[in-house]
A and B are shown apart, each in its own frame.
Chain A
Amino acid sequence: GQSLEQPSEVTAVEGAIVQINCTYQTSGFYGLSWYQQHDGGAPTFLSYNALDGLEETGRFSSFLSRSDSYGYLLLQELQMKDSASYFCAGTPSGNTPLVFGKGTRLSVIA
C-alpha cells in the first residue's frame, strides 16, 4: 500500500536549522504537503509541493524530488514555539484523499 516514512522524533537547538525528511514507499504520489500540530491542537497546513524543487515560506522551506520519492521540511532560526509534531502527506494519483505519515515530533531546546 501507499505509505510515507519520517523520523519519529527530532531534537534541535533554538536558533539552529533542522531538516525533517519524508520518503515514499510508492511512486504514486504526485505532490507532498506538510502539516504542523502543536500538543492538544489540530493540524495546520504549512506547505504543498506540487512540483520538484524548493518552496520557501518565511522560516520554513519544503523540498520535493519525485524521482527520488523524497521530500523534506526545513525549519530555520528555530524558536521554542516550533516544538510540535510535523506530518508529511502525499497526494496520491487518482481521486483519493491525502495519505499522512506518522509524524515527527520536534523538540526545540535552549
Chain B
Amino acid sequence: SQTIHQWPATLVQPVGSPLSLECTVEGTSNPNLYWYRQAAGRGLQLLFYSVGIGQISSEVPQNLSASRPQDRQFILSSKKLLLSDSGFYLCAWSQTLGYGYTFGSGTRLTVV
C-alpha cells in the first residue's frame, strides 16, 4: 500500500532563517506531488505541484521554492523566512492530477 511521510510535525523558526520541509511517498511510482499551505481556520492554498522529477509548477509567487530530486521526494524550501510564512504545510500525492489526493500529516510552522 502507498504511504506518505512528511516531517517535521512542528517547527518554530526565527524570521530570516532558512526552511526545508521534506515529503516522501512509498509504494507507488511517478506520483503527482503537491505542497499546500493552510492558514489557521482557512482553506487550502496550492503552492507547488510536480508531475515528474525536476518538473515544478508554481501557483503562488512568494519566497518559497520546491524541488523534486527523486521520483518520490518533494522538498519545500525557503532561504529567508517571513512572519507571513507561518501556517500549516501539507504535502499530498495522487496518481491523477484531478482526483484522489492523499495528504501527509502536515507541518505546523511558526515563524517568530
Q: Which residues of A are in contact with B by a Cβ distance under 8 Å?
A: 30-31, 33, 35, 41-45, 48, 50, 87, 89, 91-92, 95-98, 100-103, 105
Contact = CB atoms under 8 A, between A and B. Distances in A.
Contact of A101 (B34, B41, B43, B100): B43
B61 interface: no
Interface string B34-57: 100000011110100100000000
Interface of B: 32, 34, 41-44, 46, 49, 90, 97-106
Contacts of B44: 43, 87, 100, 103
B74 to A, nearest CB: 14
A43 B38 CA distance: 11
Contacts, number: 54
B98 A91 contact: yes
A43 B6 CA distance: 14
The list of the 5 closest CB pairs from A to B, nearest first, reads A91-B98, A102-B43, A42-B103, A100-B44, A42-B106
The A interface, classified by DSSP as helix, strand, loop or mixed, is strand
A99 to B, nearest CB: 8
A43 B99 contact: no
Contacts of B106: 41-42
A87 B43 contact: yes
Most A-side CB within 10 Å, residue of B41, B43, B100, B105? B43
Contact of A102 (B42, B90, B98, B99): B42
B71 to A, nearest CB: 18
A103 B101 CA distance: 16
A103 B43 contact: yes
Given A97-B34, A97-B49, A100-B44, A45 B98 contact: no
Nearest to A39: B41
Given A33-B99, A48-B99, A92-B98, A100 B90 contact: no
